[in-house]
Structure formats: structure tokens, C-alpha cells
């Protein structure tokens, strides 16, 4: 899939809170239709990187470009148009707690489509059915479990059929079976919708199961130290930090 032109290009990105640099000199491209993994140890700035990619935080330096167009240099209307092509699943779902699941999903539909209320209700129940929550339209986020909230968040992220979906630690706090189901859902979405997917995670199982391409952020050196398909990194990356991460700290010697 790498013969397609790059969809999302990060060049020379430096992220900082005030004077405190989190990561510097990040450059990588995400290709259309790929499942791209952002990995690295805890606290290395994975989620912050996503905040830069979806327009929540402006970079200290460098650019984030969709289809060759720099997001942060564009005007407000252009940015808003770009944001409508993005779907994000937040760590805890981030559902609006004062609205039912159906209302949560209906908000973007009401704002950005010309669908009638009846059509919106149909789309809402379709999206909920896709994530296995058929019949939960009238529940409030506080009334369902954490795993269900996450799936409902995914349904909301998919409301406008986005071109690119961001997942912030999708399997955090899920049991292994639910985490596996979510991985399958991500693969299915990519294959059926043709969406590009960016996943922040440090779950090895899902990294190898779904990742086509990846970037590895190191909190100590404050930059990216590897990129490529996770399976290739496991085989051929020589950096000890990356190897330790991908093998849960187990070296080859201990394995044999």
C-alpha cells in the first residue's frame, strides 16, 4: 500500500509545553489505508503527538500536512473542513455525559449533514449496531461499562464516515477478549471503509496484529528512534530500546 501518495505528512515536528520539549525533530508519513502505530514507553508524548495531528495543540516547530496542505497554516474554514474528515476515539471515550448515546452520535450529523431527523436516527442506530451496541440508543454514558463507552465513542468517531480515524490507547482498561474484539473492529473498518487508521498504543499483541507501519518515540532521547512495520522492526531494528520494548524486555539469549 505504500505506492499511494502520502496522506498525512509530519515534518520536522517539535512538541513542547512552554520551554519543556516533549519530542523534537519528528518526521514521518502515513499512507492512505494503512494502520499506523505510534508506540513508545509511557510518558513519551504519544498522546501529545495525536493532539498535534488533530488540531488540538499547535506545534512549537514543524508542520502537520494532510494531502500536502499544512494544517496549522490553513485558514479557519479550511481547518474546519479538514477536521470533519477526522474521527477520534479518546482514551476514555469522551462521550458527552449529558446526552444519550444516540444524541452523542447525532450531534455531528445534525451539524454537518442535511439528513432529516428520521434519517439521522437510522444512521445512529446503524453506527451503534456496527460497534455491537444495538438497542443502547437511550442510555447515558454513565449507565454503561467502560468497554461499551469506548465502543460508543468509536461509533461517534465514525458518525461522519471519516477518512482517517485516530485511536488513543484503544485497549487501555479493556480485558484481553474485548481488546481483541476492538482490534478486529479496527481491521474491519480499514478493510471495509478504506479508512486510514492511526493508533496510539503500547499493547504488543495489537501492535503486531494490526500494525502496517509505525513510529517509535523514545522519552529519554526525546525523538523518534525507529520507524517501519512493527514486524520488520522486531526482526531487523538494532536499537536496544526498541528491541527491549517489542520483546517485553526479554533478550534473544533469554528466549533460547
Partner 1 sequence: MTTTTSQIRMEQVREDVRRIGLSGSWRVNDSRADVGMELAALDRASGIQRIEVVDDGITDWDSALLTFLRALHAMSRSRGVAVDVSDLPEGVRRLLAMADSVPERTGARRSTDTVLWVTRVGARTVKGFRDLRDSVSFLGELTLAFGAMLRGRARFRRTDFWAVIQECGPEALPIISLISVLVGMILAFLGAVQLRMFGAEIFIADAVAVGMAREMGALMTAILMAGRTGAAFAARLGTMQVNEEIDALQTMGFSPMEFLVLPRALALILMMPLLAIYAVALGILGGAVVGILMLDLTPTQYYVQTVNALSLNAVVSGLIKSAVFGVLVAVSGCMQGIRCGRSASAVGDATTAAVVNAIVYIVLADSLISVIYVITGF
Interface residue with partner 1, options 2, 12, 73, 97 (CB under 8 A): 97
**Angle CA 47–236–224, to nearest 5:** 30
Measure CA 139 to chain center. Answer: 25
Q: Are 213 and 228 in contact (CB under 8 A)?
A: yes
Q: Are 66 and 74 in contact (CB under 8 A)?
A: no
Least distance to partner 1, CB of residue 159, Å: 9
Dist CA 193 CA 199 (whole Å): 16
Q: Are 200 and 46 in contact (CB under 8 A)?
A: yes
User: What totals of helices (H) and strands (E) does the chain contain, helices first?
Assistant: 10, 10
Residue span binding partner 1 (CB under 8 A) among the ranges 89-97, 121-129, 131-139, 223-231: 89-97
Interface residue with partner 1, options 16, 83, 115, 225 (CB under 8 A): 83
Residue span binding partner 1 (CB under 8 A) among the ranges 64-72, 95-103, 127-135, 247-255: 95-103
- Please provide the DSSP assignment of 184-249 as one string: HHHHHHHHHH--EEEEE---HHHHHHH-SEEEEEETTTTEEEEES-HHHHHHH---HHHHHHHTTT
172 binds partner 1 (CB under 8 A): no
Dist CA 154 CA 166 (whole Å): 10
Least distance to partner 1, CB of residue 102, Å: 13
54 binds partner 1 (CB under 8 A): yes
For partner 1, which is the closer residue by CB, 83 or 187?
Answer: 83
13 binds partner 1 (CB under 8 A): no
55 binds partner 1 (CB under 8 A): yes
Dist CA 95 CA 136 (whole Å): 14
Least distance to partner 1, CB of residue 103, Å: 8
24 binds partner 1 (CB under 8 A): no
Interface residue with partner 1, options 112, 126, 134, 184 (CB under 8 A): 112
Interface residue with partner 1, options 14, 63, 70, 91 (CB under 8 A): 91
Residue span binding partner 1 (CB under 8 A) among the ranges 66-74, 80-88, 182-190, 192-200: 80-88
Least distance to partner 1, CB of residue 248, Å: 17
Residues that bind partner 1 (CB under 8 A): 51, 54-56, 80, 83-84, 86, 88, 90-92, 94-98, 107-108, 111-112, 156
Amino acid at each position: 500500500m505504500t505506492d499511494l501518495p502520502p496522506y498525512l505528512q509530519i515534518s520536522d515536528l517539535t512538541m513542547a509545553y512552554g520551554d519543556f520539549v516533549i519530542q523534537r525533530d519528528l518526521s514521518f508519513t502515513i499512507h492512505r489505508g494503512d494502520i499506523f502505530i505510534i508506540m513508545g514507553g509511557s510518558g513519551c508524548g504519544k498522546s501529545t503527538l495525536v493532539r498535534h495531528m488533530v488540531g488540538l495543540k499547535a506545534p512549537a516547530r514543524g508542520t502537520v500536512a494532510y494531502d500536502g496542505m499544512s494544517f496549522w497554516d490553513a485558514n479557519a474554514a479550511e481547518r474546519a473542513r479538514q477536521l470533519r474528515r477526522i474521527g477520534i476515539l479518546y482514551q476514555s471515550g469522551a462521550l458527552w455525559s449529558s446526552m444519550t448515546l444516540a444524541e452523542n452520535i447525532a450531534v455531528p450529523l445534525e451539524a454537518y449533514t442535511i439528513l432529516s431527523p428520521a434519517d439521522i436516527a437510522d444512521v445512529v442506530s446503524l453506527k451503534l449496531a456496527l460497534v455491537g451496541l444495538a438497542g443502547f440508543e437511550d442510555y447515558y454514558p454513565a449507565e454503561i461499562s467502560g468497554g461499551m463507552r469506548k465502543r460508543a465513542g468509536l461509533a461517534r468517531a465514525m458518525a461522519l464516515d471519516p477518512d482517517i480515524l485516530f485511536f488513543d490507547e484503544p485497549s487501555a482498561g479493556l480485558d484481553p477478549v474485548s481488546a481483541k474484539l476492538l482490534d478486529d473492529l479496527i481491521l474491519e473498518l480499514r478493510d471495509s471503509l478504506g479508512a486510514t487508521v492511526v493508533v496510539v498504543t503500547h499493547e504488543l499483541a495489537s501492535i503486531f496484529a494490526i500494525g502496517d507501519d509505525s513510529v517509535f518515540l523514545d522519552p529519554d532521547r526525546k525523538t523518534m528512534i525507529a520507524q517501519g512495520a512493527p514486524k520488520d522492526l522486531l526482526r531487523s531494528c538494532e536499537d536496544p530500546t526498541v528491541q527491549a520494548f517489542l520483546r517485553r524486555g526479554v533478550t534473544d539469549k533469554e528466549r533460547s
